[in-house]
Amino acid sequence: MEMNFDSSILVKLLFLQCLSVICAAQDFDFFYFVQQWPGSYCDTKQSCCYPTTGKPPADFGIHGLWPNYKDGSYPSNCDSSNSYDQSKISDLISRMQKDWATLACPSNSGSNFWSHEWDKHGTCSESVLDQHSYFKTALNLKSQIDLLQILQSAGINPDDGFYSLSSIQKAIRNAIGFTPGIQCNVDESGNNQLYQIYICVDNSGSNLIQCPVLPNGKCASTVEFPSF
């Protein structure tokens, strides 16, 4: 018995299959660019360890550049075949040691931190940014957005003082044109403190945008800005 098959259906199925692969590779809506204050990372019960290169600068450091969906969820660990390879970013290491320093214990060079960020988050943006471009994009965003200078210009200093959450958001919004997400943690005395700042970037990694969704920052209306 001879079976007839409409070739147009096959073409459509192949097209949809190819399209689904492309969509999977590019399937995120925007990036969270996240910077953290080292004083708040360290001023907790678990404390911190300075990297083997020494104490980082008293400045906001990069936590990551994270692909995200508009509903607040995010892709992760998208390509196990494209693992972190430090030889691909050797020209960026000195900048990363300064601007993307690890504070995890035990003390280490930072390569474990960077590997985790690439494997979990970076691989989900590889249709847009290869490994070198991913780290360079984050470093350039850090240079573009000097959070410490922005806050200090508004009279908000890392002096163990307490500041209103709204004043922190307002200072950053006035400087960059968009409302940031603010995340807090708790120090050993139970005080709410300024921990991480989320700024949204379009899915090319090029332009700042208004965040489609902001993280639940667990902040009180007034937060401490600890020294480092």
- As a whole number of angstroms, the distance between CA 110 and CA 50 comes to 10
The answer to whether the CB of 217 falls within 8 A of the CB of 180 is no
For the chain, the distance separating the N- and C-terminal CA atoms, rounded to the nearest angstrom, is: 80
Give the count of beta carbons closer than 10 Å to the beta carbon of residue 170.
14
User: Considering Cα of 140, then 143, then 147, then 153, what sign does the dihedral take?
Assistant: negative
**Catalytic residue IDs:** 63, 117, 121
Amino acid letter for position 159:
D
